[in-house]
């Protein structure tokens, strides 16, 4: 087991050893850290720290658990000069992410119609592992969608200007290309579909507001009904990742990399393999942004149908949409003290690679930030944010597990200096799917949730046990760590009215 030292509140440091180029930084309570030790996620933090060109630290969020190559909850920034891009640092479900939709309706208006709303959404939005989507596209149309993202849907009346503005990257990561015909074939029928696993659409109510000023700026209020959509790039993204992983395996040998885990297969950022992966990843990211946008369009129509009023009058609007699995070119401050929350003890070589000129100096540099099961938490002033969020810091959306509370937070300046502007993406699993199914059956999970007043709809009752609340960490405890460390500040707590599962 690695030697790990507590250097600040909920901040743990793994000193570089062996082939590690930078330290590991883990944000966790003692209980969360014990869970990470048990599933070998800390070893993955150390493995990521060995990657060529990594800058600052290999970082893990409090929802950390074992993943493919990188731990889920992992963040790592790479120099553009000698760094690498690793598909394991993004994941198979490229741009799995979440969007929060606010409404002008109150709890008392919606609660009696929760069942009708879920029925209407289940009818409109395909769930599960099937190949149906609510928007059928030809392969040629799909190629336009993955190149142009959500703005292409704007032309078709499936999005608004505000939707584009309030989606990360405005719903269109540039440079999309390099996807296989097999990925196109898998994806062209799946746009506007939920998928399976931990994906969901949840009707929620704002149960508590903790930051009145920020909530008012975002038009969030206690008792307000909201909708949260959690989904990704479906078979299109999975196929894109698979295609490029096969090519990356050869690149590791070609570039002479010695890796502690073959799941960390990678290539230099500027290499043909690296550029092609980033182009394919951008295509899958745009697919996912568009997928969630089309589902939001169907949510609006569902509200219209149930409440017999135009969605504009019901004020069904996008708060924000964020990516969980992605690698981004971003500008960050790289300094000798406090880079990525390292406790002020940074490997000097990694700082120099990222642009610092002399000891004690800091400078801004563009780096490639991998986020695997982590979300941006950009603080105030970042030009990437729409004006309303540039003043407050961006919305950070942290869903809970099925039937538990979820959280809305705001990004901070501290996140910019301690985690490359990142926070956790959810509660994080604490139990495997197989182990979860041994505790309760899907039917028992449904009955338990409905006894607590949460309406549940799912294509497969049997799969509900895999996503039961007990299979995940306590989201409140995870969010408490994020807030205590200062990566994001709490704005509002949301509780579920009903959930539609894949």
H or E element: which one contains 280?
helix 272-307
| DSSP-assigned letters across all residues of 179-228 | --HHHHHHHTT-TT---STT-EEEEEEEEEES-HHHHHHTT--TTEEEEE
| DSSP-assigned letters across all residues of 66-105 | --SSSPEEEEEEEETTT-EE-GGGT-SSTT-EEEEEEEEE
- The dihedral through the CA atoms of 53, 56, 58, 63 has a sign that is negative
Find out whether 378 and 411 touch, Cβ atoms under 8 Å. Answer: yes
Distance CA 462, CA 442 (A): 5
Where b means 16+ CB within 10 Å and e means fewer, 350-367 reads bbbbbbbeeeeebeebeb
CA torsion 241-279-340-66 (nearest 10°) is 0
3 is annotated as an active-site residue:
no
- Tokens encoding 246: 């096969």
Beta bridge partners of 224: 106
Query: DSSP label at 231?
Result: E
Strand 4-8: give its sheet, edge to edge. Answer: 4-8, 11-14, 24-27, 54-65, 72-79, 362-372, 325-335
Query: DSSP label at 57?
Result: E
User: Of 372, 433, 364, 447, nearest to 403 (Cα)?
Assistant: 447
Catalytic one of 324, 370, 418, 425: 425
Count CB atoms within 10 A of the CB of residue 283.
30
Q: Which residues, including other chains, have CB under 8 Å from residue 117's CB and lie 6 or more apart?
A: 110, 203, 302, 303, 306, 498
Query: Does residue 431 sit in helix, strand or coil?
Result: coil
Find out whether 422 and 487 touch, Cβ atoms under 8 Å. Answer: yes
- Assign residue 140 a region (left: φ > 0; alpha: ψ between -120 and 50; beta: otherwise): alpha
Q: Which residue has the tokens 């700026």?
A: 217
Distance CA 295, CA 167 (A): 14
Distance CA 345, CA 17 (A): 14
Distance CA 235, CA 130 (A): 10
Q: Which residues are catalytic?
A: 425
């Amino acid at each position: 087991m690695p030697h790990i030292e507590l250097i600040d509140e909920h901040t743990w440091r793994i000193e570089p050893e062996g082939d590690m180029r930078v330290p590991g930084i883990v944000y966790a309570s003692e209980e969360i850290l014990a869970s990470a030790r048990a599933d070998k996620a800390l070893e993955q933090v150390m493995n990521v720290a060995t990657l060529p060109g990594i800058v600052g630290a290999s970082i893990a969020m409090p929802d950390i658990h074992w993943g493919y190559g990188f731990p889920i909850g992992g963040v790592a920034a790479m120099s553009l000069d000698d760094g690498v891009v690793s598909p394991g640092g993004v994941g198979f479900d490229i741009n799995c992410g979440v969007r929060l939709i606010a409404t002008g309706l109150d709890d008392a208006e919606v609660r009696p119609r929760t069942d009708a709303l879920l029925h209407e959404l289940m009818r409109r939005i395909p769930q599960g592992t099937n190949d149906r989507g609510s928007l059928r596209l030809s392969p040629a149309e799909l190629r336009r969608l993955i190149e142009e993202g959500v703005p292409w849907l704007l032309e078709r009346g499936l999005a608004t200007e505000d939707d584009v503005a309030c989606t990360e990257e405005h719903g269109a990561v540039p440079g999309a290309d390099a996807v296989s015909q097999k990925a196109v074939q898998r994806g062209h029928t799946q746009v506007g579909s939920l998928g399976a696993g931990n994906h969901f659409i949840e009707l929620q109510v704002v149960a508590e507001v903790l930051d009145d000023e920020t909530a008012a700026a975002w038009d969030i209020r206690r008792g307000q009904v909201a909708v949260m959509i959690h989904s990704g790039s479906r078979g299109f993204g999975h196929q894109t990742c698979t295609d490029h992983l096969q090519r990356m395996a050869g690149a590791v040998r070609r570039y002479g990399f010695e890796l502690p885990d073959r799941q960390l297969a990678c290539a230099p950022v500027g290499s043909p393999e690296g550029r092609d992966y980033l182009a394919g990843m951008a295509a899958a990211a745009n697919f996912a942004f568009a997928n969630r946008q089309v589902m939001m369009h169907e949510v609006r129509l569902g509200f219209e149908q149930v409440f017999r009023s135009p969605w504009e009058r019901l004020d069904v609007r996008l708060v924000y949409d964020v990516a969980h699995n992605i690698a981004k070119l971003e500008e960050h401050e790289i300094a000798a003290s406090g880079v990525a929350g390292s406790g002020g003890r940074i490997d000097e070589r990694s700082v120099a690679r990222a642009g610092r000129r002399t000891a004690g100096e800091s400078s801004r540099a563009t780096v490639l930030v991998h986020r695997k099961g982590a979300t941006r938490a950009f603080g105030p002033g970042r030009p990437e944010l729409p004006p309303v969020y540039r003043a407050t810091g961006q919305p950070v959306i942290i869903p809970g597990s099925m039937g538990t509370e979820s959280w809305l937070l705001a990004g901070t300046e501290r996140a910019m200096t301690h985690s490359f502007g990142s926070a956790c993406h959810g509660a994080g699993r604490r139990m495997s799917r197989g182990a979860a199914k041994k505790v309760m059956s899907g039917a028992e999970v449904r009955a338990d949730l409905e006894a607590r007043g949460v309406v549940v709809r799912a294509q497969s009752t049997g799969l509900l046990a895999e996503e039961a609340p007990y299979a995940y960490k306590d989201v409140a405890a995870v969010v408490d760590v994020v807030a205590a460390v200062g990566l994001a500040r709490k704005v509002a707590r949301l509780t579920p009215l009903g959930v539609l599962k894949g």
